[in-house]
Amino acid sequence: MEFVLGDRVLDVDRHELRRGGELIALEPQVFDLLVYLVRNRQRMVSKDDLLQAVWGGRIISGSTLTSRINAVRKAIGDDGRTQRLIRTVSRKGLRFVGTVREEYASTDPSRPALTLPDKPSIAVLPFANLTGDPEQEYFADGMVEEIITALSRIRWLFVIARNSTVAYKGQGVDVNGVGRELGVRYVLEGSVRKAGRRARITAQLIDALSGAHLWADRFDGSLDDVFELQDKVASSVAGVIEPALQAAETARSGHRPTADLTAYDLYLRGYAIFLSAARQVPQALSLMEQAIARDPGYGPALAWAAYCCFALIHGNRSDDREAHRRKGVDFARRAFEVAAEDPNVLVNAAAPLAYFGEDIEAMIRLVARALTLNPSFAHGWYVSGMIKMWAGRPDDAINDIETARYLNPRARMGSAVGVIGYSHFFARRFDKAVPNLLLTIQEDESYAQPYRALAACYAHMGRLDEARLTAARLRVITPVVMPDMSYLRRSEDRELLVSGLRLAIGE
């Protein structure tokens, strides 16, 4: 979907703002802020609305919010004095008041070839949390994710990733518009209510083209049977979308990862914390280990614990690298033993094993198997690209990352564009590496890896002042400028990074 704002075009699907043939660079949060203002132009939006929609409810400083709003104004040719397009009302909020024209462009042939017309396609919108307790948002979000996972295991069904629908959270949505924006035929929406040890899930399936309600149901049960409730919802949806698949396809591919609800809650909390910022990984690992202590055979928690161990070492946040390496390898191998047919487990266990020195081509094949089981698995494509970058296959890595971004256009961009930046760097395309690495840093300034490649990149380009400044910022985050790089399998890649860093720090 595109919004035409005068001489600028806001392309939601491609995550781009263009003026003529020129691409206007925007930080991810600035882009999301602009999209939110345009989509909600019929009303005044408050600061709380913006924090929830763009920052996931996190508290940020007033100066940070002001700087992002100013960046939006600058990108669209507005300013705080004239307020021609974005009007500020004291103590009330903001409203986009410019003229907007909506267009629905045809599919770009340069995109990955995942054609929707030949297969059923669905978007599962965020379920409303009706518990009255904001702390239970994670439970509603986890419910949606589990349903998406169950549906995604049906190979003939194209399922939009959860992060692509999170922008609709807390909004009254036009289902027809959602279908056009996300390129799907069907939309599933619903709600979750918890009361004591009981849960009620309501869901309805809508034909996004006609607006017709195809199916609706309500599921009540004990929280101890939450996975059974999820299976019922997934089976019903599958049966309505394409009877030929039969609800048994969902039941056959469905797998209850644990019967322990407390372990499940710990896993959901750890998963949410892991995604928030690199500095939160130790807390995420602690929660995963608590889940594993309750259920030693909990495959998804084992795989994410392994991934956390890899992330701690890779981000130079480990207080005992060897201990975390041993734990990471153990967690990953145990995950394979208990859930070797789960795409999430295959992907999240293969990444740390590849990083810790296992046969990297074998790990690439394991991830490819996960993508065969679930071709719509955006995170799987991301990990595939990351491992291929480590293996010295930068162009293959970029292709996989672009597929991940296509499948999940509203995901946080940082990690993905970071892999693209490193891949361009190793391919000696320094001019293309720099903007991607800068985007990664802007999204999470606490993550050390992009600083290293950016400093080396500037150094090889002869921009030594910028290289030294970037190296100085790296030292603020971590004293480790040149960590172990053995995970990079090509010696020329390691040498390119090391030589650039040496230039940057003046050795």
Residue 3 has pLDDT above 90, yes or no: no
Predicted pLDDT of residue 112: 38
Predicted pLDDT of residue 248: 30
- Tell me the backbone φ, ψ of residue 125, rounded to 5 degrees: -75, 155
**Do 198 and 171 contact (CB within 8 A), yes or no?**
no
Which ranges of 18-79 would DSSP assign to H, the alpha helix?
A: 28-39, 47-55, 62-75
pLDDT digits (tens, 9 = 90+) for 24-58: 878 777 888 898 898 888 788 888 888 877 877 67
Q: Using DSSP, state whether 297 is helix, strand or coil.
A: coil
Among the ranges given (101-115, 125-139, 232-246), the one the predictor scored with the smallest mean pLDDT: 101-115
**Do 453 and 494 contact (CB within 8 A), yes or no?**
no
Among the ranges given (100-109, 335-344, 362-371), the one the predictor scored with the smallest mean pLDDT: 100-109
CA distance 244 to 263: 36
CA distance 136 to 431: 45
What pLDDT band is residue 302 in, cutting at 50, 70 and 90?
A: very high
**Do 326 and 308 contact (CB within 8 A), yes or no?**
no
Predicted pLDDT of residue 235: 63
CATH topology of domain 258-375: 1.25.40
- Tokens coding 9: 């075009």
CA distance 398 to 422: 10
- Is the domain covering 121-253 a CATH 3.40.50.10610 domain? yes
What pLDDT band is residue 333 in, cutting at 50, 70 and 90?
A: very high
Predicted pLDDT of residue 409: 63
Residue 224's contacts (CB-CB under 8 Å, 6 or more residues apart) are 197, 259, 261
Between 342 and 495, whose confidence is greater?
495
**Do 190 and 202 contact (CB within 8 A), yes or no?**
yes
DSSP state string for 326-395: HHHHHHHHHHHHHHTT-HHHHHHHHHHHHHTTS-HHHHHHHHHHHHHH-TT-HHHHHHHHHHHHHTT-HH
**Do 179 and 185 contact (CB within 8 A), yes or no?**
yes
Predicted pLDDT of residue 109: 39
pLDDT digits (tens, 9 = 90+) for 255-297: 556 667 788 878 888 887 887 777 788 999 999 999 999 999 9
Helix, strand counts (H, E) of the chain: 20, 13
What are the C-alpha distances in Å from 6 to residues 13, 15, 73, 80, 84?
19, 18, 14, 18, 12
Per residue in 369-378, is it b (16+ CB within 10 Å) or e — as a string?
bbbebbbbbb
CA distance 336 to 346: 7
Residue 365 has pLDDT above 50, yes or no: yes
Of 453, 440, 507, residue with least CA distance to 485: 453
Residue 253 has pLDDT above 60, yes or no: no
Average pLDDT over residues 354-359: 94
pLDDT digits (tens, 9 = 90+) for 79-127: 888 888 898 887 788 888 888 877 654 434 343 333 343 467 788 898 8
Domain residue ranges in the chain:
2-103, 121-253, 258-375, 412-507
The verdict on pTM exceeding 0.75 is no
Mean pLDDT of the chain: 82
Percent of the chain with pLDDT over 90: 33
Q: What CATH number does domain 2-103 carry, 1.10.10.10, 3.30.70.360, 3.50.30.30, 3.40.190.10?
A: 1.10.10.10
**Do 310 and 327 contact (CB within 8 A), yes or no?**
no
pLDDT digits (tens, 9 = 90+) for 311-331: 999 888 888 999 999 999 999
- Is the domain covering 412-507 a CATH 1.25.40.10 domain? yes
| Gyration radius of the chain's alpha carbons | 23
Residue 263's contacts (CB-CB under 8 Å, 6 or more residues apart) are 290, 291, 292, 294, 295, 298, 301
